[in-house]
């Protein structure tokens, strides 16, 4: 399968603070990849590096096989970029911004833009600076659809959106991604939205990539287990098999990729007699993998 | 696609009101200068007024010394501050064209508009001042305007350089360099002062065009 995004051993620091060391991953054609991570784990940073807006300490990223620092105009026209906060040129109105962008993209689909904007209660002459965040998000999305890029890079697309606009955004995006073998790389703080949308999931922790797996694999295999401590001295620490163990009173919870039998077998050696297994949402799985704090 | 035409549309949307205001201001100052000179001729007699212009280096319109450079600086602020707000310059640099071409087109739009405004102003002033003063004084006026126009154009480029620069520390350094280079153009208002300094004015002008690219590269590298 063709690799659309390749990051190879990216190391980056802000001052003395390590953001990543030797971060490597790639995104194949047709995949929708979600980048999850707590605040400050470098989600926007990797998007900036990918688009050549930040020079890492070392390593290289490639878009469609081209080095991030020398992306050709032809490749730029294949990449749709949504900046954090749906940033756009706010001095334009709805019509003017479409006219401006249409001059740059040969495959421009004017109707895709106006079709999306029909859902909004805005006039063609309304200035973008007077729009709500939700309306601006639709303008930005409409422009991306009109550009018809092969790769969409969306930085925190749900930021500032109410549930209705978030859902609208996700539905359009899902439809777009599945229709034409498009590749999408996105970040969001709202993990519920990601669950509906993404095929693969990358979870960042401070300084490293915690996990990069298909969402289905995580949802099918990563479970929460609850049990009662066999005694006051019982202790369980995080390790290869157990993630984010925590206790409230004598009631423990722990996350694991192991199945119930395997977990019980390991815990019974410590005196635990009974465990209960819980299926997780992606958000629960994210908490399980990264911890609550 | 005509890159310059497409980008000029964006720049025009940002600057059109400013261009109109500057046009009106330049015309108003030209008319004010005309009224001022005709009044002076009536009060002090033409020969004394002419003497001041020809032998004492009096300016036909000293207000232009401030208005022209300030208009250049303001144009850059109006054009580039919105680009740096929320780092919108990323959107522009992401357009499918070479980054050098994109930045050049934005700068050339600004230089072009300012040059057209200043050129129209000089023509207009030459015509109306030519009605009351001899061509020799009009020629001296044009010579006197030359460094101010250079300062307006260079002020535009230097301000763009300061705006695009991502780090405040470097921005202050850029300001100091800009003030230093622009001050070279205000050594004296005497009309003939810069007649042998054409190369110097050209150098300042070229620097003002080249320097913003340096800060653009820094912006691209994500320097903060």
In chain A, which residues have their Cβ closer than 8 Å to the Cβ of B13?
89, 91-92, 96, 100
- Identify the H or E element spanning A255: strand A251-256
Cβ contacts of residue A246 below 8 Å, gap of 6+? Answer: A252, A253, A254, A292
Place of tokens 């099918």: A220
CATH code of domain A222-290: 3.30.70
**ipTM, two decimals:** 0.89
From its phi and psi, is residue B86 left (phi > 0), alpha (psi between -120 and 50) or beta? Answer: left
What's the pLDDT at A292? 67
Q: Can you tell me the distance from the alpha carbon of B165 to that of B179, in angstroms, rounded to the nearest whole number?
A: 16
Q: Return the HEC string of B15-71.
A: HHHHHHHHHHHHHHHHHHHHHHHHHHHHHHCHHHHHHHHHHCCCCCCCCHHHHHHHH
- Contact B220/A at CB under 8 A: yes
- Contact B94/A at CB under 8 A: yes
- Contact B91/A at CB under 8 A: yes
Return the top range by mean pLDDT from A53-67, A157-171, A226-240. A53-67
Place of tokens 């061509």: B135
Binary contact (B91, A55; C-beta < 8 A): no
By residue range, what is the domain housing residue B161?
A: 3-220
In chain B, which residues have their Cβ closer than 8 Å to the Cβ of A52?
220
What's the pLDDT at A167? 85
Binary contact (B88, A79; C-beta < 8 A): no
Of B15, B24, B179, residue with least CA distance to B107:
B15
In chain A, which residues have their Cβ closer than 8 Å to the Cβ of B14?
91
- Contact B17/A at CB under 8 A: no
Query: For B172-200, what is each residue's pLDDT tens digit?
Result: 999 999 999 999 999 988 888 888 899 99
Mean pLDDT of chain B: 95
Q: Mean per-residue pLDDT for B122-143?
A: 93
Query: For A97-154, what is each residue's pLDDT tens digit?
Result: 999 999 999 889 999 999 888 877 788 899 999 998 888 888 998 999 999 999 999 9
- Assigned fold of A3-214: Rossmann fold (3.40.50)
In chain B, which residues have their Cβ closer than 8 Å to the Cβ of A91?
13-14, 82
CA distance A191 to chain B (A): 25
What's the pLDDT at A75? 95
What's the pLDDT at B192? 80
Binary contact (A103, B87; C-beta < 8 A): no
Lowest mean pLDDT among A164-173, A201-210, B133-142: A164-173
Q: Can you tell me the distance from the alpha carbon of B18 to that of B24, in angstroms, rounded to the nearest whole number?
A: 10
What's the pLDDT at A293? 64
Q: Mean per-residue pLDDT for A35-61?
A: 92
Binned at pLDDT 50, 70 and 90, residue A165 comes out as confident
What's the pLDDT at B1? 59
Query: For B22-75, what is each residue's pLDDT tens digit?
Result: 999 999 999 999 999 999 999 988 889 988 888 888 889 999 999 999 999 999
Q: Mean per-residue pLDDT for B132-150?
A: 93
What's the pLDDT at B54? 87
In chain B, which residues have their Cβ closer than 8 Å to the Cβ of A53?
90, 93, 219-220, 222
Binary contact (B82, A53; C-beta < 8 A): no
Q: Where are the domains of chain A?
A: 3-214, 222-290
Q: How many domains does chain B have?
A: 1
């Amino acid at each position: 399968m063709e690799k659309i995004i390749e990051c190879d051993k990216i190391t980056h620091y802000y001052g003395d603070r390590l953001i990543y060391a030797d971060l490597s991953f790639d995104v194949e054609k047709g995949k929708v990849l979600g980048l999850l991570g707590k605040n400050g784990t470098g989600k926007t940073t990797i998007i900036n590096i990918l688009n050549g807006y930040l020079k890492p300490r070392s390593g290289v990223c490639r878009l469609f096989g081209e080095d991030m620092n020398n992306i050709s105009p032809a490749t730029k026209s294949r990449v749709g970029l949504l900046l954090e906060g749906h940033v756009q040129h706010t001095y334009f109105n709805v019509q003017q911004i479409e006219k401006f962008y249409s001059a740059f993209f040969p495959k421009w689909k004017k109707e895709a833009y106006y079709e999306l904007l029909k859902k909004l209660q805005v006039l063609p002459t309304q200035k973008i600076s007077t729009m709500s965040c939700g309306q601006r998000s639709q303008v930005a999305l409409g422009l991306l659809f009109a550009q018809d890029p092969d790769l969409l890079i969306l930085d925190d697309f749900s930021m500032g959106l109410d549930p209705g606009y978030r859902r609208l955004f996700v539905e359009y995006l899902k439809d777009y991604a599945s229709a034409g073998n498009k590749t999408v790389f996105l970040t969001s703080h709202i993990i519920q939205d990601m669950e509906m949308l993404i095929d693969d999931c990358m979870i960042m922790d401070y300084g490293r990539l915690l996990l990069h797996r298909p969402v289905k694999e995580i949802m099918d295999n990563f479970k929460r287990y609850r049990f009662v401590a066999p005694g006051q001295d019982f202790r369980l620490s995080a390790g290869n098999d157990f993630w984010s163990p925590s206790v409230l009173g004598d009631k423990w919870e722990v996350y694991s990729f192991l199945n119930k039998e395997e977990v019980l077998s390991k815990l019974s050696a410590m005196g635990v007699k009974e465990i209960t297994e819980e299926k997780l949402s992606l958000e629960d799985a994210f908490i399980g993998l990264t911890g609550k704090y | 696609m005509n890159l310059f035409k497409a980008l000029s549309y964006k720049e025009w949307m940002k600057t059109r009101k400013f261009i109109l205001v500057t046009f009106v201001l330049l015309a108003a100052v030209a008319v004010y200068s005309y009224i001022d000179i005709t009044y002076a001729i009536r009060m002090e007699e033409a020969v004394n007024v002419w003497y001041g212009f020809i032998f004492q280096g009096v300016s036909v319109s000293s207000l232009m010394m401030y208005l022209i450079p300030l208009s250049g600086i303001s144009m850059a602020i109006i054009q580039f501050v919105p680009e740096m707000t929320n780092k919108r310059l990323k959107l522009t640099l992401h357009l499918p064209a070479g980054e050098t071409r994109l930045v050049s087109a934005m700068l050339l739009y600004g230089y072009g508009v300012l040059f057209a405004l200043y050129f129209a102003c000089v023509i207009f002033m030459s015509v109306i001042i030519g009605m009351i003063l001899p061509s020799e004084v009009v020629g001296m006026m044009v010579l006197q305007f030359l460094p101010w126009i250079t300062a307006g154009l260079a002020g535009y480029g230097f301000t763009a350089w300061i705006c695009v620069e991502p780090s405040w520390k470097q921005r202050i350094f850029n300001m100091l360099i800009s003030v230093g280079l622009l001050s070279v153009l205000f050594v004296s208002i005497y009309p003939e002062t810069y007649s042998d300094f054409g190369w110097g004015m050209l150098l300042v002008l070229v620097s003002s065009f080249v320097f913003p690219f340096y800060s653009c590269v820094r912006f691209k590298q994500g320097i903060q």
